[in-house]
């Protein structure tokens, strides 16, 4: 069993990261999906295998454009989502995930928490941890190749 804390769109609000950083040690992976990637730099330098960071459309210097994680036999596409037009639909994101043989696609950008299966791909948006009104993150568990996702409101 592997566990993930998935955050996105902190937008310079370090206090938002501080609210969940206690969870980092308790989980196997911490993924930041962009727009505020530089706030994760100290954590990713400390443990680069555990903490992975995407670059969002508001990030200019830090993070990966996208990457694939292989965890317990499950392939996961991680990206910010802006390059796939996620504000207008998830079809392009799902197509990219399938192209890379991924069963799960994690994305941010929209600031809206959402878990949905699109064309056989589980898509997960943790919402915006830096949102002033409805901050959230996602908790993902993969056990025996089965993903379980919970959106956690702060």
Q: Where are the chain's structural domains?
A: 2-153
Contact 28, 4 (CB under 8 A): yes
Q: Which CATH number does the domain 2-153 belong to among 3.30.70.360, 3.30.300.30, 3.90.920.10, 3.60.21.10?
A: 3.60.21.10
- Supply the pLDDT for residue 14: 85
Q: How far apart are CA 54 and CA 138, in angstroms?
A: 16
The 8-class DSSP code of residue 110 comes to S
pLDDT of 106-131, one tens digit each?
999 999 999 999 999 999 999 999 99
Kindly state the greatest CA–CA separation across the chain.
Answer: 37
Those residues of the chain that have pLDDT short of 50 are none
Distances in whole angstroms, Cα of residue 90 to Cα of each of 23, 41, 61, 95: 29, 29, 26, 9
- Supply the pLDDT for residue 61: 85
Task: Please name every residue paired with 147 in a beta bridge, in sequence order, or none if there are none.
Answer: 142
- pTM value is 0.97
Q: Which of 121, 123, 95 is closest to 109 using CA atoms?
A: 123
């Amino acid at each position: 069993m592997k566990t993930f804390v998935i955050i996105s769109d902190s937008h310079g609000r370090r206090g938002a990261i501080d609210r969940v950083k206690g969870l980092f040690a308790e989980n196997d992976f911490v993924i930041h999906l962009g727009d505020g990637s530089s706030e994760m730099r100290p954590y990713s330098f400390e443990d680069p295998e555990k903490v992975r960071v995407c670059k969002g459309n508001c990030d200019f210097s830090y993070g990966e454009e996208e990457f694939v994680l292989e965890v317990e036999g499950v392939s996961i596409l991680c990206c910010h989502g802006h390059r796939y037009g996620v504000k207008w639909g998830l079809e392009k994101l799902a197509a990219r995930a399938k192209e890379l043989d991924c069963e799960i696609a994690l994305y941010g950008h929209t600031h809206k928490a959402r878990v949905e299966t699109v064309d056989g791909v589980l898509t997960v948006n943790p919402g915006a941890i830096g949102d002033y009104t409805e901050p959230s993150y996602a908790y993902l568990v993969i056990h025996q190749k089965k993903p379980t996702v919970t959106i956690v409101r702060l």
